[in-house]
Amino acid sequence: GAGVSQSPRYKVAKRGQDVALRCDPISGHVSLFWYQQALGQGPEFLTYFQNEAQLDKSGLPSDRFFAERPEGSVSTLKIQRTQQEDSAVYLCASSPREPHNEQFFGPGTRLTVL
């Protein structure tokens, strides 16, 4: 079956530009997560949705980062006024239910901010 998909796969932005990253989770998966993975590091938690409710956004690094999942399926991560330190791979993962024993990851969006 279809896995988690993300778009775009690659994004180059000029510093100060706004970007929007999309995640399509596995159909029926209740939980959706966003992670940021810098080069040579493990994924770092950004935010978590259960259906349309954003239950945890404690990992968002600044108020320039905003995520939504208005209908409980597709999610968008928006970064306003991008900075060079935002350059990373942004991974989306979904999970059928709690406990989140296995999360299924999308291929990620590689963001480069010039």
Partner 1 sequence: RKEVEQDPGPFNVPEGATVAFNCTYSNSASQSFFWYRQDCRKEPKLLMSVYSSGNEDGRFTAQLNRASQYISLLIRDSKLSDSATYLCVVVGGNNRLAFGKGNQVVVIP
Candidate segments 11-19, 68-76, 80-88, 102-110, binder of partner 1 by CB under 8 A = 102-110
**Shortest distance, CB of residue 71 to partner 1, whole angstroms?**
23
Residue with tokens 């296995």: 102
Span of 10-18, 19-27, 69-77, 105-113 interacting with partner 1 by CB under 8 A? 105-113
Shortest reach from residue 62's CB to partner 1, in Å: 19
Tokens linked to 80: 């306003």
CA atoms within 13 A on the CB side of 104: 19
Residue 23: count of CB within 10 angstroms of its CB: 27
| Nearest distance, CB of residue 83 and partner 1, angstroms | 22
Write the secondary structure of 37-53 as one string of H (helix), E (strand) and C (coil): ECCCCCCEEEEEEECCE
Per CB under 8 A, residues contacting partner 1 are 33, 35, 40-45, 48, 56, 59, 91, 98-103, 105-108
